[in-house]
Structure 1
């Protein structure tokens, strides 16, 4: 038998920088509770490793691989202590693997995988042998805890036991997904959509197309764009969820998440701040209420600012807030909200972030209406993500979203350009291009030339914010006008013409 003085070394194959290590035989999964909150109540010889688990579809497979590689681990304690744990279901799904097992199936991307028998969707890589998974299920004793103190008690009870490793370390191949990256702008990106769902798909496409692959600073890689501005113009009050829902969040999840932004929360041991806590009480002021009162007193104020970054976060916080700054502004009777994130998981978190912020924007608008004579309209929601990234373990899912949803979104585009429209004619042996405002159609500029090149250079210099599709359309029409002018043929915008000599149809 192994004596109580025996020390083991936990050697994880994956995510090594995200774990705390001891020399015992119990692995502790803390869910969304900070791993340090449990570690400080234990001695290193009482546990093998302590780590957090956020996602049942992304995290469990790595955890299982690490357990298979460390057969001296014979005990597992899973902490389900927070709203976030219940919302994500990762801990419950992990326990269901040990309780009820798994079966062959397919992931949401269509890849063959082991599916955990659980009400919570969870996957384990198909490359791991079923025999090894069954052996692991039988070898490890497990307990679920609902509080930090209960988890500590279970760990200490297990630490008093002597038990042999269940076998030799096992390692299985893992499929690596390497994306193809196209050249693109490194800094500053603008993406706009009517709904959060539409905008999210466009964001995922942009990052996966031109984002730079970099190390994350933890373990693994992410694909990243710097300073991505996303503008949502028409999100409905009760939020739009596509059917079937391809977003990485559900209505039930959002109901819980919105409270984390709108509501204050008492300090809870081992639980990180919430955004609502930072906004409502962290600095000794209710910043949301301050902003509401500021705008009621001065509806044109540019000082309606909320800050979530504390200067002490530089030294005293291992997980400082990603959302740092919120600015609210009323322009032409519309209340717009702009939020700045220093770091933003665009695949898994941005959609929920955006819905939470939209709920905050709606709350501010409603409170101003209830306590003043201002009946403001909801303006756009704008997020600025300074590091906009997709983690490598989501690349496969991101590609699936792009393949299934991005073409549909492109087909729905109405090509309305805020920069205006252009009317092209041929007069007096010259091409005349009138620039008109959107909506009213007022002529604000006129460009004259004999060649498409000459004209598109003028337009590009005067209108650098033209939408890509609009600019390409203009290039096509200007080239048609140049050909018609050189051949002395009639030209009509948006219509084909036939050369009288060759009857060749030009479009």
Structure 2
């Protein structure tokens, strides 16, 4: 043993230092989803080495282990596994299983070589960290699980009163693989993406961000790729939610069931536990905003005032975790109930699918309650999310690229040619190109364009129909160019829309 008064330690956080509270003790505290400051305020810095959250077993454990290996004087680890979020994520359990059961060599979900923790909860450790180092850590750090803040504080103080233990070895640092994105030029502000299901829309979203998003540093010791003001429109999500087979989404049905309750249900205040969206909607401001919206729409079905707010002006004042979801607006048009949600900041890879499904469940709840309490039998309209900062964190870039490579082309091949702008019928008559613009569905002619050049006409259409789908516009350009060629040759070439330019048989015989 070493004399307790002779040595003080300063924790050296090599990875994610801004997400940690560092001290000068020998005990590391993992708080799971509990706010780390809630533990810190009950302790002095000499009680602990470090206090940090652990949200994800696949994204967080490697960083945690790297830091512990760089600080071998840390000899005790207290894991607070206390909340519903902890149980749902499984990250604390996975870390416990690493120390209790070890690891084997395997593959990550991106196909990369890694150490896989022996646990029912999937967890990875970077393969660059040697097995010898991992075993040393397991053998020399005492691990205890606790289930409450009080229990955690008492145990850490107990450890702090004991004599200091000698470090188990020298600091160990291992190389880390970095993924660099490939960027294409594109708009930074204002994007619209539409899909039938949340899964389909999600793949399109991450493709757009990974293709043209700006790479910027975050406030969390890393980088993200970001687009600003991205609007996602989901048109036909089924009531029981669509999960692809095999499931490439970052969530499954069991996680979703727990998450939906965090949006629909109120929850009492608990020290150290972050608010839930349900708490913000049901009781935070002293009013049940979901009930207010239901009653508002029953009283005035055309109301544009069905608004729910989650942002509190007090969130500007030292709030370590202000809500990302800030505003919800419900609107009924032509017997169709839509829901629009605004996020100030949105993790589009890991969080958006759960966000969208939870909001869709809220949308269904409002629709169903209106049907129960009134004579209105409303259809489910689209779910719209507006993500002001829509981003993908750097530790998910490789996963995002893999999803894009495996799913994006398949989704794009399932084309839907029903452009809300309508259709265009192209003919060549009297030495002119004639284009009739018709309404979707009914086919009523609402405009007519004519000219001798494709460029002249497509510019007119682009001016009148700026919202035309990209593929539809490219198709029109192709057809108009064919019509111009047929018109310009003037030797009996025939233009028919969607067909190859043809030569009349009589001309073929004359040439023979």
Instruction: With the length of structure 1 as denominator, give the TM-score of the two structures.
Output: 0.98
Measured in 2, the distance between the counterparts of 1:490 and 1:33 equals 72
> What residue number does 2:191 align with?
189
CA shift digits 1:105-153 (9 cap, x unpaired): 0011111111000000000000111100111110100001111111112
Give the Å deviation of 1:12. Answer: 1.1
> What residue number does 2:400 align with?
398
CA shift digits 1:293-318 (9 cap, x unpaired): 00000000000000000001001411
CA shift digits 1:179-226 (9 cap, x unpaired): 011110111000000000000000000000000000112210000000
Range that drifts further, 493-502 or 65-74? 493-502
Measured in 1, the distance between the counterparts of 2:318 and 2:263 equals 22
Measured in 1, the distance between the counterparts of 2:120 and 2:76 equals 24
SS at match of 1:203: helix
> What residue number does 1:112 align with?
113
Identify unmatched segments of 5+ residues in structure 1.
Answer: none
Measured in 2, the distance between the counterparts of 1:202 and 1:315 equals 36
Assess if the C-alpha contact under 8 Å between 1:437 and 1:443 holds in 2: yes
> What residue number does 1:148 align with?
149
Identify unmatched segments of 5+ residues in structure 2.
Answer: none
Give the Å deviation of 1:500. Answer: 6.7
Assess if the C-alpha contact under 8 Å between 1:143 and 1:154 holds in 2: no
Map 1:145-184 → 2, pairs under 5 A: 145-161=146-162, 162-184=164-186
Measured in 2, the distance between the counterparts of 1:292 and 1:370 equals 11
Map 1:5-24 → 2, pairs under 5 A: 5=5, 6-24=7-25
> What residue number does 1:263 align with?
265
Give the Å deviation of 1:499. Answer: 4.8
Give the Å deviation of 1:3. Answer: 2.3
Measured in 1, the distance between the counterparts of 2:112 and 2:454 equals 49
Map 1:279-294 → 2, pairs under 5 A: 279-294=281-296
Measured in 2, the distance between the counterparts of 1:21 and 1:66 equals 12
> What residue number does 2:471 align with?
469
Q: Which residue, 358, 361, 364 being the options, matches 1:362? A: 364
Q: Which residue, 207, 212, 215 being the options, matches 1:213? A: 215
RMSD: 1.1
Measured in 1, the distance between the counterparts of 2:8 and 2:26 equals 9
Residue 66 (structure 2) pairs with residue 65 (structure 1): yes
> What residue number does 1:490 align with?
494
> What residue number does 1:428 align with?
430
> What residue number does 2:409 align with?
407
Map 1:377-392 → 2, pairs under 5 A: 377-392=379-394
Measured in 2, the distance between the counterparts of 1:223 and 1:2 equals 48
SS at match of 1:497: coil
Assess if the C-alpha contact under 8 Å between 2:18 and 2:219 holds in 1: no
SS at match of 1:36: helix
Measured in 1, the distance between the counterparts of 2:448 and 2:8 equals 81
CA shift digits 1:245-270 (9 cap, x unpaired): 11001101010000101000000110
Give the Å deviation of 1:172. Answer: 0.5
Measured in 1, the distance between the counterparts of 2:313 and 2:287 equals 16
> What residue number does 1:44 align with?
45
Measured in 1, the distance between the counterparts of 2:349 and 2:433 equals 47
> What residue number does 1:274 align with?
276
Measured in 1, the distance between the counterparts of 2:415 and 2:216 equals 32
CA shift digits 1:68-95 (9 cap, x unpaired): 0111111001111111100000000011
Assess if the C-alpha contact under 8 Å between 1:106 and 1:112 holds in 2: yes
Residue 453 (structure 2) pairs with residue 451 (structure 1): yes
Assess if the C-alpha contact under 8 Å between 2:225 and 2:394 holds in 1: yes
Q: Which residue, 441, 444, 455 being the options, matches 1:442? A: 444
CA shift digits 1:457-500 (9 cap, x unpaired): 11111110111101111111111110011113110001112457
> What residue number does 1:342 align with?
344
Measured in 1, the distance between the counterparts of 2:3 and 2:334 equals 75
Assess if the C-alpha contact under 8 Å between 1:260 and 1:274 holds in 2: yes
Measured in 1, the distance between the counterparts of 2:417 and 2:148 equals 54
Instruction: With the length of structure 2 as denominator, give the TM-score of the two structures.
Output: 0.97
Map 1:229-244 → 2, pairs under 5 A: 229-244=231-246
Measured in 2, the distance between the counterparts of 1:229 and 1:254 equals 22
SS at match of 2:398: helix
Measured in 1, the distance between the counterparts of 2:219 and 2:463 equals 41
Give the Å deviation of 1:326. Answer: 0.3
Measured in 2, the distance between the counterparts of 1:316 and 1:116 equals 37
Give the Å deviation of 1:157. Answer: 2.1
> What residue number does 1:3 align with?
3
Give the Å deviation of 1:416. Answer: 1.8
SS at match of 1:312: helix
Range that drifts further, 364-373 or 149-158? 149-158
SS at match of 2:183: coil
Measured in 1, the distance between the counterparts of 2:130 and 2:439 equals 64
Residue 98 (structure 2) pairs with residue 94 (structure 1): no
Q: Which residue, 321, 324, 327 being the options, matches 2:326? A: 324
> What residue number does 1:124 align with?
125
Give the Å deviation of 1:272. Answer: 0.8
Measured in 2, the distance between the counterparts of 1:420 and 1:79 equals 58
